[in-house]
Amino acid sequence: MTHYAAYQDHDLMQTRRRRPQRRASASAWLLRGITTCVALAGFALLGNLILGWANDLGELDGRTTDASPVTLFIGQQRLSVPANMFRFDNQRNVGPHDHVDLAVHWPEMAGYQPAFRSDYMDTGPDAPIVYVTVRVRDTLTDSAGRLINVYQHFFQDGAIPAPAGLIGHRMSAESGLEGEEVYFEAGSTDPFTTHCTAPDSSGYPASCLTEIHAGDDLSVLIRFRKGMLGNWAGIKSGIRVLLLSFGVTA
């Protein structure tokens, strides 16, 4: 396995040149199986993302301007979340939850306010809203782990243009994610990593999805439109500060 600390453009090219020819080995079948699981999980998550955004684009029912904290539990983790960050009013209650869905305004990382209404209704590719789902962890690895264990084995040759500080690659056909893109932070031992959808004819803007682990048993899904990718560093740090304000260590 290639250690991420060595990731630079040159090393990625060397890794691709050294990739062995396909053969029906046990390790190849295992890798294909892992990739299939990741691809299916990614499709499910992104499908839910699109459906959720479709609802948001049409109306803002369930929003509140009340920023009073709501105390709740996800798994064994106690969180205190401002009421105006919840996307759905049926999650805005004290008690146990298996997940909560939030939407925060960039760059303030604040909940819904009347002044932000037009941004929440924005159907464009760079609407300044970051969607956050906090849930009980059910994956062994987060996006950075998948970069090392899965994604890097299925990059097409040659990097693609990326915002400053990131390296981008398209996924190959054998990954099950052909045409989709992965961007990761260069030179970090804990790299920001995001998987972005390919443009299509659905009418919905392309989106990017990042997963990080937090607390003892939480997974945090971070979703934003691809036009916001240039703000990746601020999103990365802003999410960690936001989770700390909830009482969760990221």
* DSSP three-state, residue 69: strand
Mean pLDDT of the chain: 83
Express each pLDDT in 151-160 by its tens digit: 999 999 999 9
Judge whether residue 103 has pLDDT over 90: yes
* Separation CA 182–CA 170 (nearest Å): 6
- Domains: count for the chain: 1
pTM above 0.75, yes or no: yes
Residue range of the domain that includes 224: 4-246
Q: Which two tokens stand for residue 248?
A: 């969760």
- Return the sign of the alpha-carbon dihedral for residues 143, 29, 138, 128: positive
Distances (CA, A) of 36 to 87, 173, 199: 31, 12, 21
| 110 compared with 43, residue with greater pLDDT | 110
Express each pLDDT in 34-57 by its tens digit: 555 555 454 445 545 444 444 444
Find tokens 């991420």 and name the residue. Answer: 4
Lowest mean pLDDT among 26-35, 66-75, 136-145, 185-194: 26-35
| 106 compared with 26, residue with greater pLDDT | 106
